[in-house]
Amino acid sequence: MLEGLVMIPINAPQIGEEEIDAVVKVLRSGVLTHGLGEGPMVKKFEEEFARFVEAKYALAVNSGTAALHMAIIGAGIKHGDEVILPSFTFVATAETVVLAGAKPVFVDIAPENYNISPEKIKKAITRKTKAIVAVDLYGSPADLKPIREIADEYGLKLIEDAAQAHGAVYNGKPVGAYADMACWSFYASKNMTTGEGGMVTTNDKEMAEKLKLLRSHGEKEKYKSILLGHNYRMPEIQAAIGCAQLAKLPVFLAKRRENAERLTEKLGKAKKLQLPTEPKNCRNSWYLYTVRFKGSKSEERNAVVEKLRQNGIGAEVYYVCPIHLMPYYRKFGECRLPETEKASEQVFSLPVHPSVTLEQIDFIGETVLHYVE
């Protein structure tokens, strides 16, 4: 164990004087929010984020869950519809489908990157299917090109849950390029943060206008609602933090990549582990460095995770219980997802965020090797 070691957390917000100054500036301005969610800092953040992900439009909201819910509603999903999505993800992906009155239809994942399998999507389509949600899990881009082709063939909307994928690249383009809408989270653990917060990006002008209405009570102007909406506005303080974070994001991503590549090098001799990889012409955002215990059950994985924590390494398991096995979601029907269930018993994630030093990465790698091998 490293001398004087404290717990290396799985993720940590990277907050500096720039964020503090940005917040103080907003407080001194007296403009803390805007009735339609279009304050000066929000608009600035939207413009800069849209430029970063190469989207025409960006709508800032108060959480990643709000972004997903707005996208689902914006896509016209309603009671009785079906939406295809993975079960191996955070519950918000399915939760927002249910909040719209629709049925989540869970399909299995590809074992090499834990993202939704395009082959399984096609088999799950019915006359009630209206949309597909693809998740870029752990910051690894989903295989969106074939999914886009399926969506076009069947006239379905394609929503990308990019909550963990800020800075990820698929097929040479920023993630989100193949989707009708992409949803982002700025929760405190993410690659960049506003504390809580989210964003929806799209290249569809008509959709962007609809999302703007949904964000603020369906109002096109104050006190005149033209459709049913919500209060999903982002406050000015969050947007100011977002602008400061976005400026630093390339540096954050470079450090995550350096840490991930070094950890891959350290763990290369671990025959019992499947290490994360990047497909050709893709770049992972390295939100989470997730490894997999080959051929083992959860007891062995859990024992290793506990040993790592005892040694000051904040290893975590995402996601120990797939959504289709959660008590509430079982009512949507039994489904057999062998790759999903196997992954949930075998994966665990290791810290590679920008605060992790190279010395700590070496320590993490050596400690994992010791307990795995």
Ranges of each domain in the chain: 17-244, 250-372
Burial of 349 (0-12, 13-18, 19+ CB in 10 A): buried
Between CA 168 and CA 115 the distance in angstroms is 14
CATH code, residues 17-244: 3.40.640.10
DSSP for residue 231:
B
Q: Pull the structure tokens for residue 163.
A: 């909550």
Q: Which fold has domain 250-372?
A: Aspartate Aminotransferase, domain 1 (3.90.1150)
| 17-244 and 250-372 in the same fold | no
The alpha helices in the chain, defined as continuous H runs, are: 17-29, 40-53, 64-74, 92-99, 118-124, 144-154, 205-215, 236-267, 298-310, 338-346, 358-372
pLDDT in tens, 303-320: 999 999 999 999 999 999
What pLDDT score does 4 carry?
A: 55
Stretches in the chain below the pLDDT threshold 50: 1-2
SS3 at position 155: coil
169 phi, psi to nearest 5 deg: -130, 135
Q: Which residue carries 């506003």 as its tokens?
A: 194
Length reported for the chain: 373
The encoded tokens of residue 349 equal 């994630």
What was the pLDDT predicted at 330?
A: 96
Q: What is the pTM of this model?
A: 0.96
Indicate the SS3 state at residue 125. Answer: coil
* pLDDT at residue number 5: 58
Alpha-carbon distance 136 to 142, whole Å?
Answer: 5
- Beta strands 129-135 and 157-161, pairing class: parallel
